[in-house]
Structure 1
Amino acid sequence: MADQIAALPDAVLAVLAQVLGVLELTPWHGEPYNLTKPDEPMRQWVFGGSMGEGVIVYLILDDQRRVDVLRVLWFG
């Protein structure tokens, strides 16, 4: 995942940091990764806006009070 983040444009890094801050506090606000299983802990968050579009795919581990980011994609 570090390679994926390193490949992002500099302007996107600030947006990504904001999204990661939100995920830290409210991870269940992301969309289900699999729409047929809306209660599953694997989620996604779309970000970017006018700069392009990115997606963070992550897993919520409530029992460990942890969120693991699995993938960061950028379509800019």
Structure 2
Amino acid sequence: MYRLTLDPIAEEQISAVPENALRPLAELFVLLETAPWSGHPFNPANPRGNMLTHAFGERGLATYLVLEDQDEVYLLRIEWP
């Protein structure tokens, strides 16, 4: 199991997510703690990189780093257009 750490900017972005996106976001957090490599590479030219993205809800996107040696997922950004 991985520890999920939120970047301060991601925390601010989460507070702006609409209420109907909170449940999918919570489900994403569980997924990131158990299967963080299930996301897509942030940079397709580097498919084995540790920076990934994962969609959630209808339009959300999370960008995060998997710090394998620390059993940590560092959530960088949350986007909800």
1:26 counterpart (35, 45, 53):
35
> What is the CA-CA distance between 1:11 and the residue it aligns to?
1.1
> What is the CA-CA distance between 1:46 and the residue it aligns to?
1.1
Superposition map of 1:1-76 within 5 A:
1-49=10-58, 53-75=59-81
SS at match of 1:36: coil
Paired AA for residue 40 in structure 2:
E
> What is the CA-CA distance between 1:47 and the residue it aligns to?
1.6
Identity among equivalent pairs (%): 39
Q: Which runs of 4+ in 1 moved over 2 A?
A: none
> What is the CA-CA distance between 1:69 and the residue it aligns to?
0.1
Instruction: Return the alpha-carbon distance in structure 2 between the equivalents of residues 3 and 64 of structure 1.
Output: 24
Give me the TM-score of the superposition, normalised by structure 2. Answer: 0.86
Larger RCO of the pair (alpha carbons < 8 Å, separation 6+): 2
Unaligned runs of 5+ residues in structure 1 are none
After superposition, the CA RMSD in angstroms is 0.7
Unaligned runs of 5+ residues in structure 2 are 1-9
